[in-house]
Amino acid sequence: MGLGGNQILSIEELIRGMAVCSGNDAALAAALLTEGSLEKFTLKMNEAVKKIGLNSTYFEDSSGLSEKNQTTAKDFALFSLHYLKKYPENLKKFHSVNEISYPQEHNILIKKNSSGLKQFQITKPATNTLLKKLEGCDGLKTGFIYESGFNISLTAQKNGERFIAVILGSHWKNFADGIFKREQNSIKLMNFAFDNFTSFDVREHSKIEKTVKVLGSNLSVKTSAIIPVPANLDFSQDYITVLKKDERHIERVINLPATIKAPLPAGRQIGSIEYRIKDSELVLKTIPLICPIDIKEGSAFRKFIDGFFR
């Protein structure tokens, strides 16, 4: 990004420097500014990815320069999805920006030469060259170190559909060749996705019609039947990505027992929803159904009338 001494930046500017021109200096500055040390910041990064279930991802630093950083394509795709769901506004603010000029006048006193041109300010293009070469592309992040080769987490949107693609470890003969291959592979992958796949909206089919009767509970007899709720999954619970030809063959199967015994803590799984392709054994997605509230055991008489002592 071109950071220097005695410069003043906001966190937003640092994020833009990381996103647009892959500013490793910006990543280090953000770590120092927010946590006081790279070690503390990296610890927070590792805690965050473990919290969302990315067990194959490990950070050694904030910039990605160390060869000790680890991830998988699947983990980073899920990481990207989580990020986009949580901060959708960042695509426009940071990741679809084509270039960045730094420093600005508010960052440091920039002297002017006799022609009135600002000295020291450099305009850098986005490292994500696909912003200008792939229809609908508006992010997300490129990466490169010699040990891993050329990498990218890519996203694009067309006709209401958004896909994420991750390419890691692209081979290269030289720097220009590495960028070219990353571009060509990314375009092929995204075009394949848009040509062949679609997103089935689970939310349009999320209503649970079945109830479960809770035996031996402290609930009144009239209200002892509960309606379970879908578990709050971390990532793409709202959609299923399927081949276009299979979308009309998706069926939903609700698996629930007719009765269940108290006590039941809120959040305990008592069934599931399965989304399947009809007349096949292929399960596309399974969403756990959980108890919505804490349900305590009822009185001995309640247990008796519910058949506990038969």
CATH number for 274: 2.60.410.10
Q: Are 154 and 263 in a shared domain? A: no
Tokens of 138: 């508006």
The 3-state DSSP composition of the chain as helix, strand, coil percent (nearest 5) reads: 35, 30, 40
pLDDT, residue 97, reads 97
Q: Are 23 and 138 in a shared domain? A: yes
Residue 155 lies in a domain: yes
Q: C-alpha distances in angstroms, 73 versus 55, 151, 168?
A: 12, 10, 7
Residue 204 has pLDDT above 90, yes or no: no
pLDDT, residue 188, reads 97
Residue 118 lies in a domain: no
Q: Are 78 and 189 in a shared domain? A: yes
Pairing of strands 259-261, 212-215: parallel
E-strand ranges in 27-178 read 99-102, 122-125, 137-145, 149-158, 161-170
- Burial level of 172, CB count in 10 A (0-12/13-18/19+)? middle
Residue 110: band (very low, low, confident or very high) from pLDDT cuts 50, 70, 90: low
pLDDT, residue 92, reads 97
Q: Are 188 and 48 in a shared domain? A: yes
Domain that holds residue 17: 11-105+125-199
Q: Are 237 and 280 in a shared domain? A: yes
Q: Are 264 and 146 in a shared domain? A: no
Residue 6 lies in a domain: no
Residue 117 lies in a domain: no
Q: Are 159 and 287 in a shared domain? A: no
pTM of the model: 0.82
Q: Are 90 and 164 in a shared domain? A: yes
- Among 199, 232, 250, the domain boundary falls at 199
- Among 170, 199, 228, the domain boundary falls at 199
Q: Are 35 and 167 in a shared domain? A: yes
pLDDT, residue 175, reads 92
Residue 176 lies in a domain: yes
- Among 177, 199, 221, the domain boundary falls at 199
Q: Are 29 and 89 in a shared domain? A: yes
Residue 24 lies in a domain: yes
Residue 309: band (very low, low, confident or very high) from pLDDT cuts 50, 70, 90: low
Q: pLDDT, tens digit, for every residue of 149-171?
A: 999 999 999 998 999 999 998 88
Residue 112 has pLDDT above 70, yes or no: no
Least trusted range by pLDDT, from 41-50, 176-185, 276-285: 276-285
Q: 213: alpha, beta or left, given left = phi > 0 and alpha = psi -120 to 50? A: beta
The DSSP element (H or E) to which 242 belongs, if any, is strand 239-243
Count Cβ neighbours within 10 Å for each residue of 109-142 and write b for 16 or more, e otherwise.
eeeeeeeeeeeeeeebebbbbbbeebeebbbbbb
Residue 306: band (very low, low, confident or very high) from pLDDT cuts 50, 70, 90: confident
Domain count, the chain: 2
Q: Are 147 and 219 in a shared domain? A: no
**Any residues with CB less than 8 A from the CB of 279 and at least 6 apart, and which?**
249
Query: What's the CATH code of the domain at 45?
Result: 3.40.710.10
Residue 278 has pLDDT above 80, yes or no: yes
pLDDT, residue 300, reads 85
